[in-house]
Structure 1
Amino acid sequence: MNRTSPTAEPRGPEQEDLTRLAGVKLGNYRLERLIGRGRMGVVYLAKDEALLRPTAIKILSWRVADAQGHDPVQWFLTEARLVARINHPRVVQIYGAARQGDHCYIAMEYVVGSSAEAVIAERGRLAPDEATDILLQAAAALDAAHRSGVIHRDVKPANLLVGDRGVTKLGDFGMALGSAELRTGTAHLRVGTPYYTAPEIWSGAAATPASDIYSLAATYFHLLTGRPPYPGPDVATVEQGHLRGRVPDVRALVPTLPASCAALVARALAKTPRERHASAQILLWEGRRVLQDIVAAGASSRSAAPKAARPASSPVPPPASSAPPAPRLLAEGLGFIHRPFGGGASDAGLRAGEPFAALRRQLVEAVRDEGRLLVALTGDAEARTALCQELSRELAGERLTLVVAAPPSAGSRALLQGICRAAGLADEASEEACLDALVERFVDEQRRLATPLLVLDGVTAEPASAAGLARVLEAARWSGSFKVLLAGAPGLVDALARGGLELPTERNLELAVPPLDREGIAAYVRAAIEAALAPGAPPIVVSPDAMLLLALRSDGVLGRVDCIAENMLVLAAAERRRVLRSWHAWVASDAERWSDRAAAALPRPPDVWPPPEVIEVIDACRRGAGLPPWPRGRTSRA
């Protein structure tokens, strides 16, 4: 009895013409017509008679004589197993792999359309926006493959399947390598198509994700110009071009392309892998920026809707106040309708008072400067947070602005998911998916309005959060689709740099929230009180000595100013007085808010005020302000 070795080559490829199998049934698949052929197999359009859907069936045609010592069947099945690892809509899906009689086959998704190679052959070079859109989709597919541990090794126009609706999918992983192949040393084998092969592969080095990035860039060059970057009459000429030729300027062939497009191609076609994009995802982000520039420059043959960004000089209507309502004691005792020092700073008070108004204007100008990617705001936490919220409200009419708290203990993924939630996006399974969803959202907003702003409040140099911050800044830099405002304690930028975070250096700006001086505290407190009172309510007066003590006790830190000033008002409201005196400033807590206390639980004024020890403090404050000393012998009920 004849027995067939399980590793023996199928007889079919040597004895049978695989181009004449129309009508044959393999498993559930009825072969209908031949639609392609390649080095390892032929491809048929088939009908899945169980699920009633069109399916592409790839049948092994590679013989042992062509296998260079490899088992063709195992190599063929490896393709199916590698692609099955990748779950991405821009990668041709694998439905299954089987062997029936003499035939080994893979059942996979059928893409209605043509390869990019066929499109170029029919139409010549593609419109720049169409070519860039294909690049973006292919880069997303490569990123998913690389994250799954798979290197394609044969990226070229023939392996990009362009559907009827513009959806592009990466297929033909027959030359792909997985982690096992990388460990066993087969990554050095030179495969692929010469026109798109990276220099290091020509030199005998191992294939890496950077090799795929190079091949995709060479493919993109071909899509844009109608020819590969290094054409030649023979393989030797092409090889020398990849190894030693100067990277061609794509604009020499298509002058209307923006400089950003030429820069992307030059970077991705760099001779050494370390000079290329660090990942396919970064290539994708930069590609999105290029697409924006192509549309803006009118290089595309398609029409683009004009951007509806508000001019920088256009006034933004002031938003309605969002200050919380006044506590009951302040409302009934003094006539407040809003809490004057709620949430760190009164909305209206902060908007009107200096130095915050000037600082806010600087922030708005910095954000509107389209050449600026990163702004840092450092200083007191209360002031930072209030300024970030004010900035968000002021910019609301012209751009998407997200204000996200960045807790020091939050890891990279937690930070990214928090940003996704703030942007109204669903939680993604990985950091890469979070970032890509964010960039896509920001790109959409950028087309509609001005460049979005991401505000990260409470940033520290802790390693847990710095890793996520590095990913965010990387996405902002390469995509150009959003700006970043980092808000943190004084010395934030230096601390991040010392921690190893690579900060963009182009035209960045660091603004510091200064501590309030005596005049600043007085202006801020009066503005906050006036803005929170009901219209027509009698004014509230703060005595000069009370203001001096408030400045002394708070050290100009806004959070402490808020706490002390609110408690001073609470004490005055309990007495039904509209003058804030030195006693109020002396006893008001700088750590605990008293607005929810009952009047009976509040401190009561002494019979005689001020005592000698307080007079000494008031005198020191007066001397610092250039005022005469406290009149000796003058005491009163507080």
Structure 2
Amino acid sequence: MPRSIATPEPDGADLTKLVGLKLGNYRLERIIGRGRMGIVYLAKDEALLRPTAIKILSWSVAEAKGQDPVQWFLAEARLVARINHPRVVQIYGAARHGDHCYIAMEYVVGSSAEALVAKAGRIAPDVATDMLLQAASALDAAHRSGVVHRDVKPANLLVGEDGVTKLGDFGMALGSAEVGAGNAHVRVGTPYYTAPEIWRGEPASPASDVYALGATYFHLLTGTPPFPGPDVASVEQAHLRAPVPDPRTLVPNLPESCAALVARALAKAPRERHASAQTLLWDGRRVLQELVAAPGAGAAPGYRPAARRPATPRAAARAPAERATGPLADVLGFRLRPFAGAVPADEGASVVEPLAAVRARVAEWARDDVTVLLLSGGPHSGCGALSRQAAAELSGERLAIALDAGADGEGRTCLQRLCRAAGVPEEASDEASLDALVARFTEEHHARGAPPVVVLDGVPATQAAPRALVRIVEAALWSRSFKLLLAAEPAVPEALARAGVSLRGDAFTLVAVPALDRAQIGAHVRGWIDAALAPRAPPILVSPDALLLLALRSEGALERVNRIAENMLWLAAAERRRTLSSWHAWAASDRERWSPAAPATLPRRPDRWPPTEVIDVIDACRRGAGLPPWPRGKP
């Protein structure tokens, strides 16, 4: 005979006749719910004059299956007391009054999500997704407090009249001690929302709560659980073996993003689901963003995005130019500091390949659907300068933040510095801070009509990627609330993959920044000089040997090219020369940028130049370039 799914009536019918009874400060007024462990009354707190939900233990010893009903009942109050979150029904206290053991809880004026579905048939996608977000936020707080709920379902989502959804009924929840003791193996919860591993007798975990919330989301969207059945056995087999159903078979016009979220949350293997309730929250936030932005869509109750301003076409902002100072300005006539960025910053200045192609790809990325762009190159490749310039140019149309991820942040993590730059107050934990950051970026996305851009320069290729960086990348990939540009060494993708970050699919792309060849270095140097000189300043010439030595010393790495080339100009200014020769390319520092205070300490040209050993190097460079050897015997 098939096992019935119906929840049995609690033992102790007398508990239904307690209207008017006073338990402590609470006067019972009417029954508002029944659960596995107790009957819930609406009561009036006669001390604080507020409505309160009173849950009275009704579980018998037989139903407790060997557990102490009172201790299990009180464990609910203790577990919820650990969780301080606005989307969790709060516990006011627990006590015994005569024969009655009760918990005083926050009273939510409204209905359960189950009642809303029963009344309307199903819930609109934007409203259902908003409920999912709030429930996922509550679950994340519970999991971070070491609590596994084990009974997530529509009946336990309490929806207030203002659209605020709260997660309640932690009567089946387990804390970390109970999970460690093996109690997580005991199957509880409602069969329609129970994860496959629980049916197999495996321990309850945050992943099983994610599954239950995914099944709840399916029910809200369609009006039916994902695996309905006439008895427990058929439901069990469906959870274990049946493919994840597509909710669009029941609601054809449902957006694909809703179906994709359901498919991930209901994956049979826990490792294939969202990695955490917070990840599910980010994914849901992205779905809601798409739903709200869709033509004709309205904001879900309780969800108040900032008014979206129509995008206005505008020219991209350019990186702020740095004015030239000292001998570079006074002697050579530069109006801008040369080689102070990735590419010439003036209008009309030529941008050489491969820099032009990289800049074009970054500009394309800012407009396309790819979330994470990794500019990868060797040391001094110029990835950092290119990424910082991209942030400056994008800041004219959206929020853009650039940080040096490898810099010493005075004891502050990259995440903490990012929160400060975005104007987000730090929360008690990194997870809470990151969620607040994602919420801030989501609001900014709605306000400006374009996702914010975060640029992280100098990302280290450590053996184990820093947790903060990993979480930032995961937040970008899952929430799609902001775009992330990483300027990093080639080994960084592998380090992120080892840390569990999936860099596959259409949300991630890698752009290599190759070294410049000799011809490109020459065009880059001349383009920068032409762009930075004052309009009436005499030209500055660069000898072929100077460019060959510059290419040799820099190895084509853009940042080293810029550093050596600027220092060549300091040497020329000290000599009041307007031609950059092999001496300047040989003597210029490749380790530091000289400044206006440097001329007194600059190296001085020897009386005879070049010496034999330098001629040998120049000759080798000339042979590589197909040029005749140095004319020996001439001064």
Report the TM-score, using the length of structure 1 for normalisation: 0.86
Q: 1:464 to 1:206 in 2, by over 3 A?
A: closer
Q: Which residue of 2 aligns with 1:160?
A: 157
Q: Which residue of 2 aligns with 1:335?
A: 333
Q: 1:522 to 1:223 in 2, by over 3 A?
A: same
Q: 1:339 to 1:620 in 2, by over 3 A?
A: same
The alpha-carbon deviation at position 137 of structure 1 amounts to 0.9
Q: Which residue of 2 aligns with 1:92?
A: 89
Q: Which residue of 1 aligns with 2:262?
A: 265
The alpha-carbon deviation at position 257 of structure 1 amounts to 0.9
The alpha-carbon deviation at position 174 of structure 1 amounts to 1.1
Q: 1:543 to 1:103 in 2, by over 3 A?
A: same
CA deviations 1:543-566 (Å, max 9, x no partner) are: 333333333333323333223222
Greater shift in the superposed pair: 417-426 or 158-167: 417-426
Q: Work out the CA distance in 1 between the residues paired with 2:15 and 2:489.
A: 74
Secondary structure, in 3 states, of the residue corresponding to 1:263? helix
Q: Which residue of 2 aligns with 1:291?
A: 288
Partner of residue 126 from structure 1, selected from 123, 130, 133:
123
CA deviations 1:413-450 (Å, max 9, x no partner) are: 92333333333322233232233223323333444423
Q: 1:309 to 1:418 in 2, by over 3 A?
A: farther
Q: Is the 8 A contact 2:15 2:58 kept in 1?
A: no
Greater shift in the superposed pair: 199-208 or 509-518: 199-208
Q: Is the 8 A contact 1:287 1:479 kept in 2?
A: yes
Q: Work out the CA distance in 2 between the residues paired with 1:431 and 1:634.
A: 68
Q: Work out the CA distance in 2 between the residues paired with 1:626 and 1:190.
A: 79
In the alignment, structure 2 segments of 5+ residues that lack a partner are 1-10
Trace 1:165-564 onto structure 2 (pairs within 5 A): 165-297=162-294, 317-342=315-340, 347-348=345-346, 352-355=350-353, 356-371=355-370, 373-381=372-380, 383-407=382-406, 414-447=413-446, 448-494=448-494, 499=498, 501-507=500-506, 508-564=508-564
Q: 1:155 to 1:373 in 2, by over 3 A?
A: same
Q: 1:243 to 1:612 in 2, by over 3 A?
A: closer
Secondary structure, in 3 states, of the residue corresponding to 2:147? coil
Q: Work out the CA distance in 1 between the residues paired with 2:134 and 2:68.
A: 33
Q: Work out the CA distance in 1 between the residues paired with 2:618 and 2:242.
A: 80
The alpha-carbon deviation at position 500 of structure 1 amounts to 5.9
Does 2:573 correspond to 1:576?
no
Greater shift in the superposed pair: 388-397 or 481-490: 481-490
Q: Is the 8 A contact 2:409 2:417 kept in 1?
A: no
Greater shift in the superposed pair: 78-87 or 586-595: 586-595
Q: Work out the CA distance in 1 between the residues paired with 2:598 and 2:260.
A: 67
Secondary structure, in 3 states, of the residue corresponding to 1:334? coil
The alpha-carbon deviation at position 506 of structure 1 amounts to 1.9
Q: 1:626 to 1:255 in 2, by over 3 A?
A: same
Q: Work out the CA distance in 1 between the residues paired with 2:60 and 2:393.
A: 69
The alpha-carbon deviation at position 80 of structure 1 amounts to 0.2
Secondary structure, in 3 states, of the residue corresponding to 1:342? coil
Q: Is the 8 A contact 1:132 1:220 kept in 2?
A: yes
2:256 partner letter: A
Q: 1:432 to 1:594 in 2, by over 3 A?
A: closer
Q: 1:631 to 1:268 in 2, by over 3 A?
A: closer
CA deviations 1:64-84 (Å, max 9, x no partner) are: 454333322211111000111
Q: Work out the CA distance in 2 between the residues paired with 1:239 and 1:501.
A: 31
Identical positions, percent:
64
Does 2:104 correspond to 1:107?
yes
Q: Is the 8 A contact 1:335 1:533 kept in 2?
A: yes
Q: 1:248 to 1:577 in 2, by over 3 A?
A: closer
Partner of residue 77 from structure 1, selected from 74, 77, 80:
74
Does 2:605 correspond to 1:601?
no
Greater shift in the superposed pair: 329-338 or 592-601: 592-601
1:54 partner letter: P
Q: 1:100 to 1:567 in 2, by over 3 A?
A: same
CA deviations 1:512-562 (Å, max 9, x no partner) are: 222222222222222222322334333222233333333333332333322
Secondary structure, in 3 states, of the residue corresponding to 1:381? coil
Secondary structure, in 3 states, of the residue corresponding to 1:511? strand
Secondary structure, in 3 states, of the residue corresponding to 1:510? strand
1:505 partner letter: R
Greater shift in the superposed pair: 369-378 or 208-217: 369-378
Q: Is the 8 A contact 1:257 1:299 kept in 2?
A: no
The alpha-carbon deviation at position 17 of structure 1 amounts to 4.2
Q: Work out the CA distance in 1 between the residues paired with 2:289 and 2:422.
A: 21
Q: Work out the CA distance in 2 between the residues paired with 1:568 and 1:425.
A: 44
The alpha-carbon deviation at position 139 of structure 1 amounts to 1.3
Q: Which residue of 2 aligns with 1:8?
A: none
Q: Which residue of 1 aligns with 2:5?
A: none
Trace 1:47-66 onto structure 2 (pairs within 5 A): 47-66=44-63
Q: Is the 8 A contact 1:408 1:464 kept in 2?
A: no
Greater shift in the superposed pair: 580-589 or 170-179: 580-589
In the alignment, structure 1 segments of 5+ residues that lack a partner are 1-12
Q: Work out the CA distance in 1 between the residues paired with 2:271 and 2:495.
A: 27
1:218 partner letter: A
Q: Is the 8 A contact 2:344 2:527 kept in 1?
A: no
The alpha-carbon deviation at position 57 of structure 1 amounts to 2.4
The alpha-carbon deviation at position 87 of structure 1 amounts to 1.6
Greater shift in the superposed pair: 256-265 or 391-400: 391-400
**Alignment: residue pair count:** 618
Q: Which residue of 2 aligns with 1:43?
A: 40
Q: Work out the CA distance in 1 between the residues paired with 2:149 and 2:411.
A: 29
Q: Work out the CA distance in 2 between the residues paired with 1:280 and 1:350.
A: 50
Q: Indicate the RMSD between aligned Cα atoms, in angstroms.
A: 3.4
Q: Which residue of 2 aligns with 1:586?
A: 586
Q: Work out the CA distance in 2 between the residues paired with 1:97 and 1:452.
A: 46
Secondary structure, in 3 states, of the residue corresponding to 2:597? coil
2:32 partner letter: I
Report the TM-score, using the length of structure 2 for normalisation: 0.87
Q: Which residue of 1 aligns with 2:8?
A: none
1:160 partner letter: L
Greater shift in the superposed pair: 394-403 or 250-259: 394-403
Partner of residue 135 from structure 1, selected from 132, 137, 160:
132
Q: Which residue of 1 aligns with 2:3?
A: none
